[in-house]
Amino acid sequence: MSTNGWETVIGLEVHCELATETKLFCGCPNDFGAEPNTYVCPVCLGLPGSLPVLNERAVEFALRVGEALHCDVAEESIFHRKNYFYPDMPKNYQISQYDEPVCGNGWLAVPGPDGTGRRIGIERAHLEEDTGKTSHVGGGGGRIHGADHSLVDYNRAGIPLLEIVSKPDLRSPEEARAYVAELRGVLEAIGVSDVKMEEGSLRVDANISLRPAGAEKLGTRSEIKNMNSLRSLGRALEYEAERQAEVLESGGAVIQETRHWDEEAGRTYSLRSKEESHDYRYFPEPDLVPVKPSAEWRDQVRAAMPELPAARKARLMDAWGIADVDAGVLVGTPGLADYAEAAVDAAEAAGAPASGRDVANWVTGDLMAHLKESGAAPSSLALSPAGLAELVKLVGDGTLSRSLAKEVLAAALAGESNGSPAAIVADRGLAQVSDEGALAAAVHAVLDAHPAEVDRYRTGEDKDRKKLRGFFMGKVMAEMKGRGNPQVLNRLLDDALPTNS
Amino acid sequence: MTPDGLAGRTAVELAELVRGGDVSAVEVTDAHLARIEALDGEVRSFLCLAGDTARAAAAEVDSARARGDELGPLAGVPVAVKDMFCTHDLPTTAGSRILEGWRPPYDSTVVARLRAAGAVVIGKTNLDEFAMGSSNENSGFFPTANPWDTTRVPGGSSGGSAAAVAARFAPLAVGTDTGGSIRQPAALCGVVGMRPTYGRVSRYGIVAYASSLDQAGPFATNVADTALLLEAMWGYDPMDSTSIPSEPEPALARLEDGVAGLRVGLVEELADVEGIQPEVRAAVDSARNLFEKAGATVEVVSLPSVEYGLSAYYIIAPAEASSNLARYDGVRYGLRAEAPPGEGYDVAAMNALTREQGFGAEVKRRIMLGTYALSAGYYDAYYGQAQRVRTLIIRDFTRAYERFDVLLAPTSPTTAFELGSKTSDPLAMYLSDVCTIPTNLTGATAISVPAGLDTAGLPIGVQVLAPALGEAVLLRAARALEAGFAFTARPKLKEVAA
């Protein structure tokens, strides 16, 4: 993107919480939402004498990410200590990989708006431990300065993070969003994280700078923090690109600094704090030994790699005959493609195969709208994939009209009748009537009751006839309490109505 | 048997007496507690006595015996523990005011293993603050005196453990050795002190000073007791990533195998180190003669890079310490400095004031040194260079061990010095570890054995060094020297009101 002749250059640092059972260096549970300071032990509290022991599962997850992002996986990588004082850091140093990370030099193909896409370089992916969480109470508006007191919860301390650093290859806020969406899909597909940006299991910091279009040399960058959704990432980067353009165009210089995104105010602001000029005094962590994944282990990880989103998208488009945009929604929304494929599988298992296209239509349409509105995850819906398969079958065999099916879907999502469409149809008495005898009786009853209208129909202009036909159809449907099969009714009505004379 | 007869016996003897039912573990514990109460007033080797918990542990040993349970190798034997080891039932201070009163929620692996072997933890011994020092004068609480001459230092940093064993307050003690902190005080107090191979004994639960150099080890009055204690401490621990997974080769059983044919190298640069006391130098020659008499061959060997060991050590150890000690910030445990009168007391100010009040001068000095050495722009010139020197020293030793099974050197250039004589000159103090530091830098093993007394009646120690995992041959060589020196003198203690 260029703003008034400026080219935007963006690099992203994505912190991904790895979904291991236990923390990175101890046996405490890696879990979200427990009572403060209950998932702690001497190691993650950094008590005197405690020592870290590396979680092998976290390394395996890093190896998976390395595979998925086409990285060079280091035969030997090491941990460093990053030294700085902060109350939520139990040891006042963070154990993190530094100049010898587990993964380096890879790429991720990011789809572009025109269906093509670009390879975005991955600089590195390294393991590190998370810090605790501090809440500042009173005084300073939630910030440490001026607070009356602070509370620290160390449940998060020591949770494994993988920091995935892109090269400065992204050229617009839109592309940055697409990169994170694609990366999120990859991390989800390979099962290493629950990728919830809102809960902080995926955190994105952005480095952004401008340079004159066509220039080689990078401009001075600012680092933007505190963006907790794809939307806020896009907004923050757009704001910051415009801010930097204004600074540069008014003859000023961009300051290299960290800026905080304020979601409500819709702007970034400088932290302007002394805390920024850190010398972290990195040195190799003497309490850990080098990580040396064996060739066998790496082969096993490679062999067990699941299908990645790009491949899955191509497969679904091909197998189900669905559009690029719909396949993109399925694969790009956490859990959605799994849900749709589970519904197709359930239909097959129930002996009533459903077309992937029909399932995808429901999933990307009504279901997606519900997810957006409710913020729910597909896996937690009251309507199970098997339930959706049931709904598709009810429409397919003529039991439900499309408009009634939408009603049933909404009821199932609301949890009515245990989310079972068949049960809802039964409980509400919604089954569509296709019995020709019953429908014909209704048609004739309506025509017999409106002889004047039938007469006008016989002699009327085309325009009036059309209107009258709609009138008869409405009456018949009302007679059938909305459950008449519309196709059959249309045919019966045409047969019963007199021809023009 | 009189209590006084029990305090003064070896660990091997006490373990046999308890196992055989000749005495109860409670009697053994009471005898040692009584001796400490009577005589530690002048030495001041303990920061905290276990008392009731020790008696309870001893009573448990006696019940286990009464039940007919199999007893551990150290059942009923009192052990004094340097206050660097976490103990769930006793305060752990690392000799620092910043941890005063802190009670860990867990036992270090070493203490847990000692307890599992039936040992009775009798108390926590004094030390230089965070094990930084060579005289115990850097203790945040009080200095310990040398039992041989209470106007002199016991050495350090494990001075309390060395003094306690020398005074027969316990037959055994454990310490930590980062630059010589077991061997140097053992030499100055006339006892045996050993530093095992890095990774042979778990560091889990030992307050960290310099993580790549720290290693726990045993003190005893003799080599057999040293081996007995070592075998109860060592072995793989999954809680310490740097722990060595292989099974240790038994040491105690091979102790009397002799040294016939053993190839001994006398390290020229250490034997003739600048400032060496002539009587210490003479003791090294005596050791050489004893080895030869016992059938070993001795040749002089040169390790030219060891002269840089002290400099490398005083970069690496402070660098690691500056990071290890960052956690003492007043937030979670230990000392928290109260707000001074006036404005502006925030977390950063609390951290700073707590550290200012809680740490002593030497600890602050090393934190400053280490912080500087790791700073951007200086890292390579200091920390990087020190690591390269370390590699050179390792190479020198590797080459020497192609020709020799063990090496011989003094433990400390001098015998115990006067309290206060070096406190104002840190460099002079640092020099007392010049002969022990190379073993820490190479991650190998070494032991100090008493070699007699100097003309002032102060103990002299000689040092035997072996390659990594060479504990069995090291102890066998030490036993041969011990038999040759036949050192039987004991310090005479006065009763002083504590």
**Do A291 and A338 sit in the same domain of this protein?**
no
Tens-place pLDDT, residues B144-169: 999 999 999 999 999 999 999 999 99
Long-range pairs, B341-349, Cβ under 8 A, ≥24: B346/A144, B346/A145, B347/A87, B347/A144, B347/A150, B348/A85
Q: Would you state the pLDDT for residue B1?
A: 45
**Do A213 and A98 sit in the same domain of this protein?**
yes
Task: Decide if pLDDT at B438 tops 50.
Answer: yes
**Do A290 and A404 sit in the same domain of this protein?**
no
Q: Would you state the pLDDT for residue A144?
A: 66
DSSP per-residue string spanning B365-419: HHHHHHHHHTSTTTTIIIIIHHHHHHHHHHHHHHHHHHH-SEEEEESSSSSPPBT
Task: List, by residue number, the catalytic residues of B.
Answer: 82, 157, 181
Average of pLDDT values for A311-332?
A: 92
Average of pLDDT values for B32-36?
A: 97
**Do A291 and A323 sit in the same domain of this protein?**
no
Tens-place pLDDT, residues A371-396: 999 988 899 999 999 999 999 998 88
**Do A282 and A346 sit in the same domain of this protein?**
no
Task: Decide if pLDDT at A460 tops 90.
Answer: no
Q: Which residue has the tokens 């979200």?
A: A32
Task: Decide if pLDDT at A426 tops 90.
Answer: no
**Do A219 and A131 sit in the same domain of this protein?**
yes
Q: Would you state the pLDDT for residue B3?
A: 47
Tell which of A22, A26, A28, A51 to mutate to test the B interface (max B CBs under 10 Å).
A51
Q: Would you state the pLDDT for residue A478?
A: 87
The most confident of the ranges A425-434, A452-461, B102-111 is B102-111
Please choose, from the candidates A466, A455, A461, A394, the residue with its C-alpha nearest in 3D space to the C-alpha of residue A430.
A394
Tens-place pLDDT, residues A144-168: 667 778 899 999 999 999 999 999 9
ipTM of the complex: 0.96
Task: Decide if pLDDT at A272 tops 80.
Answer: no
Q: Judge contact between B126 and B139, C-beta under 8 A.
A: yes
d(CA A468, CA A466): 5
Q: Which residue has the tokens 């445990």?
A: B333
Q: Which segment of A401-415, A421-435, B290-304, B328-342 scores lowest on mean pLDDT?
A: A421-435
Determine phi and psi for A164, rounding to 5 degrees. Answer: -105, 115
User: Residue A385: which domain range?
Assistant: 307-428
Task: Decide if pLDDT at A276 tops 60.
Answer: no
Q: Would you state the pLDDT for residue A142?
A: 65
d(CA B482, CA B290): 9
| Rounded percentage of chain A residues whose pLDDT exceeds 70 | 96
A53: in domain: yes
The total of other beta-carbon atoms located within 10 Å of residue A75's CB is 12
Q: Would you state the pLDDT for residue A334?
A: 84
Task: Decide if pLDDT at A275 tops 90.
Answer: no
**Do A203 and A166 sit in the same domain of this protein?**
yes
Please choose, from the candidates B251, B90, B190, B255, the residue with its C-alpha nearest in 3D space to the C-alpha of residue B416.
B190
Do the bridges between strand B297-301 and strand B406-410 make them parallel or antiparallel, or are there none, so unpaired? unpaired
Tens-place pLDDT, residues B58-67: 999 999 999 9
Is B240's CB within 8 Å of A51's CB?
yes
Average of pLDDT values for B362-370?
A: 97
d(CA A130, CA A380): 28
Half-sphere exposure of B206 (CA within 13 A, CB side): 29
**Do A38 and A157 sit in the same domain of this protein?**
yes
Instruction: Write out A431-468 in H/E/C secondary structure.
Output: CCECCHHHHHHHHHHHHHHCHHHHHHHHHCCHHHHHHH
Is B104's CB within 8 Å of A93's CB?
no
Q: Tokens representing A480?
A: 């059938």
Task: Decide if pLDDT at B275 tops 80.
Answer: yes
Average of pLDDT values for B220-226?
A: 98
Q: Which residue has the tokens 């697409």?
A: A178
**Do A220 and A346 sit in the same domain of this protein?**
no
A501: in domain: no
- The CATH homologous superfamily for domain B3-253 is Amidase signature (AS) domain (3.90.1300.10)
User: Which residue, A428, A456, A475, sits at the end of a domain?
Assistant: A428
A147: in domain: yes
Q: Judge contact between B195 and B448, C-beta under 8 A.
A: no
In Å, how far is B486's CA from the nearest CA of chain A? 38
- Residue B44 identity: R
d(CA B438, CA B303): 10
Q: Judge contact between A33 and A196, C-beta under 8 A.
A: no
Q: Would you state the pLDDT for residue B2?
A: 47
**Do A411 and A462 sit in the same domain of this protein?**
no
**Do A216 and A320 sit in the same domain of this protein?**
no
Task: Decide if pLDDT at A299 tops 90.
Answer: yes
Is A85's CB within 8 Å of B351's CB?
yes
Q: Which segment of A74-83, A274-283, A334-343, A361-370 scores lowest on mean pLDDT?
A: A274-283
Q: Would you state the pLDDT for residue A437?
A: 85
Average of pLDDT values for B243-252?
A: 94
Q: Judge contact between B76 and B15, C-beta under 8 A.
A: yes
Q: Tokens representing A13?
A: 């640092």
Q: What is the CATH number of the domain that holds A448?
A: 1.10.10
d(CA A22, CA A297): 21
B157: cis peptide before it, omega within 30°?
yes
Is A286's CB within 8 Å of B383's CB?
no
The per-residue pLDDT of chain A, averaged, comes to 91
Average of pLDDT values for A112-125?
A: 87
In Å, how far is B66's CA from the nearest CA of chain A? 36
Task: Decide if pLDDT at B360 tops 50.
Answer: yes
Q: Would you state the pLDDT for residue B497?
A: 53
Task: Decide if pLDDT at A16 tops 70.
Answer: yes
pLDDT confidence bin for A115, thresholds 50/70/90 = low
* Residues 38-77, chain B, touching A (beta carbon < 8 A): none
Q: Judge contact between B187 and B195, C-beta under 8 A.
A: no
Question: What are the Cα distances from residue A212, in Å, to A106, A248, B199, B485?
Answer: 27, 10, 57, 83
Average of pLDDT values for B101-110?
A: 97
Q: Tokens representing B86?
A: 């976490």
**Do A49 and A69 sit in the same domain of this protein?**
yes
Q: Would you state the pLDDT for residue B346?
A: 85
Domain count within chain A: 3
d(CA B104, CA B107): 7
d(CA A179, CA A40): 35
Nearest by CB to B242, from A50, A92, A289: name it.
A289
Average of pLDDT values for B291-318?
A: 97
Q: Which residue has the tokens 């309506």?
A: A446
Q: Would you state the pLDDT for residue A485?
A: 83
